[in-house]
Amino acid sequence: MNYILIGIKQAFQLIFSLDREIFSIVLLSLKVSLTAIALSSLLGIPLGFLITIKNFYGKKLIIILMNTLLAFPTVVVGLIVYSFISRRGPLGAFGLLFTPTAMIIGQFILALPIIIALTHSAVQGIDKRVEKTALTLGANKLQSAWAVLKEARYAILEAITTAFGRVIAEVGAAMMLGGNIKGSTRTMTTAIALETSKGEFGFGIALGTILLLIALVVNIFHHYFQSRRI
Amino acid sequence: MEKLILMVKNLKKIYNNKIILDIDYLGFQESKIYAIVGPNGSGKTTLLNILNLLAKSEEGQIFFRDQEIIINSNSKILEIRRKMTLVDQDPFLFQSTVYGNVAYGLKVRSLSSIVQKNRIKNALEMVGLSGFENRKADQLSGGEAQRVVIARALVIEPEILFLDEPTASIDQKHIDKVEKIITKIRRELKTTVIFTTHDLSQAYRLADEVISLLDGKIIQQIPENLLRGEIVEEEDGSKRFKTMGNIKFAIVSEKIGPAYISIDPRDIILSYEPFQSSARNSFLGKTTKIIEQNHLVKLEIDIGIPLVVIITRESFFKMNFNLGSKVYLTFKASAVRLY
């Protein structure tokens, strides 16, 4: 039992002494996940919106597929991206494997269906009168679409926080695509996995605490957006 | 002669293989108030949406100030659509403040914020909501929301303002306010106002011209107590007109099937006791509205559906009617007019 208490003590020493290694790992994790979320939002929000307002063949199938991919196993994403960017893969020439870019690609793929599916349900829940009201007040097509998105803003922010919560905490894709290289691709989750297996509990607990704090902050935002939606 | 601001010719709107609008000609003059009246399903809302260029018709031409609107040119439609606006029957307020809502039409037109501020101040003053700028839209009462919606339309300074049933879903106190606003708009802004209503007396009270719509066609004048229903044949061979709430009127008719009827409000006799007579229609109802008009009194009596009855002032006082009074309505089968 004693080693756990020692680990916790070490962890707080590491955090409060602003340990360089710990914070470079935290910064890298945030950089990778925030970039992945920004990119998947940029693509996923317009796609989720278009899927909702347009009628086309196979629409139902896409929606079911996106909802299925909400539970995309992270190691499967790792596997797929790995097979494309490894030296022998079709994108091998770019030398992406074991770089932060590879992790961003993996997390982007994880986050995209979440953003699309949740944007779809957000826009679908918006009053049908929003579009007509905008048009009667002189909006063009693009402006009326923007009005609908704006009405859905809190639900869409919820989608973004949900996706961020998922990618910041995932370990499978980050491990397989980043390779957990110290000072380059070591994120909070991969570091915790490694340090724990090495018996470095203090380091693992310190990172785990920070990860939980980040999750807490994300959830506070999430609940704030949820309360504004009603 | 006054100038026409909007005109339609040979308009036909078809929905599910049914002609729901069929209008040869309809013209609206500048700075006048028009009321479009007709029962539910007569095509009022569809007509407003077409005039406001939100819906398309299968046939016909629309002219804005002598210039034909070519339906295929989206930029031209937007340009003319921005000269008018429509306030819906069941209006929607954006999740924002009163200011944010009223500003919307100005923002999409990219007007400067100084112009926006001034116009919003004036529009809110016009509807009696000065000081409401920072109120959240979801904290307004139904009547206040309706006035915000009118301010949001006025701020655009439209040449034509369409109002779809502007007083259908608000209480009497706010109806008076909205009616005052409508007349004020015309007086102070010279805007052409086109509104729909199913309240005939409101139409005649506010409008310069009343357009009556029945089954998608313009008719000379819409009568009171216009009802939609079906003529059925009873077991004894007599014909009855069946309408909402399974209410049946004895009528004189050759045909059966769907039809419209009207009952002249002056042909209905009121009494406290069942009235022994040769008249075949007798119903017990409750007085729900009393409106005095010069030497006549207009009553609305609910027999399951509201019927309007007009009696003289003398008989009104002699009978001592009050709101809630239970009375018998009696009228002859031949007083029911068939369309």
CATH code assigned at A139: 1.10.3720.10
Distance (Å, rounded) from C-alpha A89 to C-alpha A204? 34
- Which of A133, A151, A230 is best to mutate for the B interface (most B CBs within 10 A)? A133
pTM confidence score = 0.73
Please identify which residue in the block is written with the tokens 């009121």: B270
Q: Which CATH architecture has domain B226-338?
A: Beta Barrel (2.40)
Condensed to tens digits (0 to 9), the pLDDT of residues A117-130 reads 999 999 999 998 99
Delimit the domains of chain B by residue range: 4-219, 226-338
CB B240 within 8 A of CB B234: yes
Cβ-Cβ pairs closer than 8 A, A with B, add up to: 51
pLDDT at B1: 54
Kindly report, residue by residue over B243-294, the tens digit of the pLDDT: 888 889 999 888 888 888 889 898 999 999 888 888 889 999 999 888 877 7
A83 phi/psi in degrees, rounded to 5: -65, -25
- Residue B203 makes CB contacts below 8 A (sequence gap 6+) with B35, B37, B197, B210
Cβ–Cβ below 8 Å for A133 and B82: no
**Mean pLDDT, rounded, for A154-173:** 94
Tally of domains within chain A: 1
Q: Tokens at residue B153, please? A: 């339309």
Average pLDDT over residues B20-25: 92
Put the strands of the sheet holding B4-15 in their side by side order. B18-29, B4-15, B59-64, B67-68
The closest CB to that of B54, out of A129, A132, A151, belongs to A132
**Residue A172 backbone phi and psi in degrees, to 5:** -60, -55
* Total residue count of chain B as it appears in this document: 339
> In this structure, what are the phi and psi dihedrals at residue B322, rounded to the nearest 5 degrees?
-130, 165
Tell me if A162 sits within 8 A of A169, measured CB to CB.
Answer: no
Measured distance between the N- and C-terminal CA atoms of chain A, rounded to whole angstroms = 47
Mean pLDDT over residues B165-180, rounded?
84
Cβ-proximal residues to A101 (8 Å cutoff; 6+ apart), any chain:
none
Measured CA to CA in angstroms, residue A93 lies from A174, A177, B42 at distances of: 21, 16, 69
What are the pLDDT digits (tens) for B199-226? 887 888 899 989 988 888 888 777 788 8
- 3-state SS, residue B121: helix
Question: Between chains, do B81 and A138 touch, taking CB under 8 Å as contact?
Answer: yes
Q: What's B4-219's CATH class? A: alpha beta
Residue B237 has pLDDT above 90, yes or no: no
> Cβ of A137 and B108 within 8 Å?
yes
pLDDT of residue A28: 96
Give yes or no for A130 touching B (CB within 8 A).
yes
Lowest mean pLDDT, pick from A27-31, B30-34, B187-191, B200-204: B200-204
DSSP B323: T
Q: How far is B141 from chain A (nearest CA, A)?
A: 18
Burial (CB count within 10 angstroms: exposed 0-12, middle 13-18, buried 19+), residue B66: exposed
Residue A4: band (very low, low, confident or very high) from pLDDT cuts 50, 70, 90: confident
Produce one character per residue of A64-79: b if its CB has 16 or more CB atoms within 10 Å, e if not: eebbebeebebeebbb
Burial class (CB in 10 A: 0-12, 13-18, 19+), B251: buried
What amino acid is encoded at B284 in this protein?
Answer: L
SS3 state of residue B251: coil
ipTM: 0.74
* Bridge partners, residue B247, by sequence: B243
CA distance B48 to B36: 9
Give how far the C-alpha of residue B244 lies from the chain's centroid of Cα atoms, to the nearest Å.
20
Average pLDDT over residues A93-112: 95
